[in-house]
Structure 1
Amino acid sequence: MNPELKRYIPIVDMIAETFGSDCEVIIHDLANPEKSIVYIANSGVTQRKIGDSFTGNFISDVLISDQIDGDYVSNYRFGRDLSKLIKSSTALIRDDKENIIGAICINFSLENLNKGFNAINNLIGPLYEERFEAPSPNLMKGDVQTNQNINIIVKRIVDHILDGVDTENLTRSERVQYIRFMEERDIFSIKGMVEDVADRMGISKVTVYSYLDEIRCENNEIY
């Protein structure tokens, strides 16, 4: 583990122990996007493990969020429905040269709290209105105009993904696999990244769009 990230382990453990098993805390190493999770405490919230990658939430809910304040975003939510909501906060980690090298992510499951509120309502009547609303997107899908710093961060993530890859000799299926990995992490929601990835992989942007159409059709995405 990067020594600059390792020093955050006591903080991660302290947060996890303070808030209990419903609070999962993760350290991400952005120099290794495909296996970015290098430390995790209370892994039961999202069922992820060391060696797993960050999700698309890191791009959409953190880097290009309109709620980002300095180097952190707090109290954004995600989940399939009200009973499975997770409240999250993420802080970026910089090295001594101010380069972003990682992130600490706190994921707090609201499932037990929601059950508690429902139990109270069942016992003494509906004194409380629904406490948790389903998450709403804070940005439009598609190209997002972002500042130069965010573009630099995401370009570095792409560089790390393709580091050491002989892009000239990739098969079509291998190229699609890399594009799929980036698409699943919302990298192409950043303005200009289709062109940058195309240049980095030595293919045309039309080819990238073709791969994206194929991937999105497989995922039954409708435009």
Structure 2
Amino acid sequence: MKHKNIPQKLEYFIPMVHFLANTLGEHFELIVYEIDQEEAEASIIAIENSHISNRKVGDKAPKLLKDISNSIKKDEDMVLNYITKTNEGRPLKSSTYFIRNNEGEIIGAFCINLDLTNIKIAQNFLGEISSIEEEDSLRDKFPENVDRFLEIIIRNSLEEVDKPVPLLTKDDKLKIVEYLDDNNAFNIKDTINTLADELNVSRYTIYNYLDEVRTNKK
């Protein structure tokens, strides 16, 4: 069934929402947003398993989605496995695919949100019985804009090597770049400059590290 006034390219994703919700189960929320760049607005046109976020068709998209859609590179279409929270505090692991028209403009987004609530409960239980400290809560804070999103994911990458920046070796920096690349952070335009400032190196050094990481993956 065709939905009124919705671009055809977005129509294609609406049946996918229903299909994947039935395939993946009740812990996965599936959403299609329509994004109007001229009006700087985005709203839900299809949603399944809405009990996770208590959202409905017609609700506005979070500011983070609009910020990322404005910042993502023209040759990139997705941001994967970033951590957000619902308004009620449910932790989510989210991935977003941006939908473009024939002119390459972003007109929508297809989002998959995994509800981590039960996983967190299990982690907390296991942590209690094994006396393991809970993971830094910063990883689960909702990133309100692109700068905050980059701040969180870069901090997570630094925690992977667990050293102060002045003591980082080249291998450490390559691991940081690899972590960010694996999480598609370089799809965001400001990542190179932000990371260069954080590591006190030039942006060209980051480009070289990224080339080296991707070459080693081949």
Which TM-score applies when normalising by structure 2?
A: 0.52
Q: Conserved in 2, the CA contact under 8 Å of 1:62 and 1:72? A: no
CA distance 1:65–1:75, change in 2 (3 Å):
farther
CA distance 1:63–1:23, change in 2 (3 Å):
farther
Cα distance, 1:19 vs structure 2? 2.8
CA distance 1:8–1:51, change in 2 (3 Å):
same
Count of aligned residue pairs for this structure pair: 138
Cα distance, 1:70 vs structure 2? 0.7
Unmatched 5+ residue regions in structure 1?
142-223
Equivalent in the alignment of 1:47? 54
Equivalent in the alignment of 1:121? 127
Tell me, in whole angstroms, the C-alpha distance in 1 between the residues paired with 2:63 and 2:93: 15
Equivalent in the alignment of 1:15? 20
CA distance 1:35–1:121, change in 2 (3 Å):
closer
Give the secondary structure class of the aligned counterpart of 1:76: strand
Alignment of 1:1-223 (within 5 A): 1=3, 2=6, 3-31=8-36, 36-64=43-71, 70-79=76-85, 84-122=90-128, 124-126=129-131, 130=135, 133-135=139-141, 137=143, 139=147
RMSD: 3.3
Tell me, in whole angstroms, the C-alpha distance in 2 between the residues paired with 1:69 and 1:136: 26
Unmatched 5+ residue regions in structure 2?
150-218
Equivalent in the alignment of 1:148? none
Cα distance, 1:131 vs structure 2? 7.9
CA distance 1:98–1:69, change in 2 (3 Å):
closer
Tell me, in whole angstroms, the C-alpha distance in 1 between the residues paired with 2:121 and 2:75: 31
Q: Conserved in 1, the CA contact under 8 Å of 2:21 and 2:28? A: yes
Percent of aligned pairs with the same amino acid: 32
CA distance 1:64–1:119, change in 2 (3 Å):
same
Cα distance, 1:61 vs structure 2? 4.5
Give the secondary structure class of the aligned counterpart of 2:47: strand
Tell me, in whole angstroms, the C-alpha distance in 2 between the residues paired with 1:126 and 1:76: 27
Which TM-score applies when normalising by structure 1?
A: 0.51
Give the secondary structure class of the aligned counterpart of 1:30: strand
Runs of 4+ that moved beyond 4 A: 32-35
Q: Conserved in 2, the CA contact under 8 Å of 1:16 and 1:25? A: yes
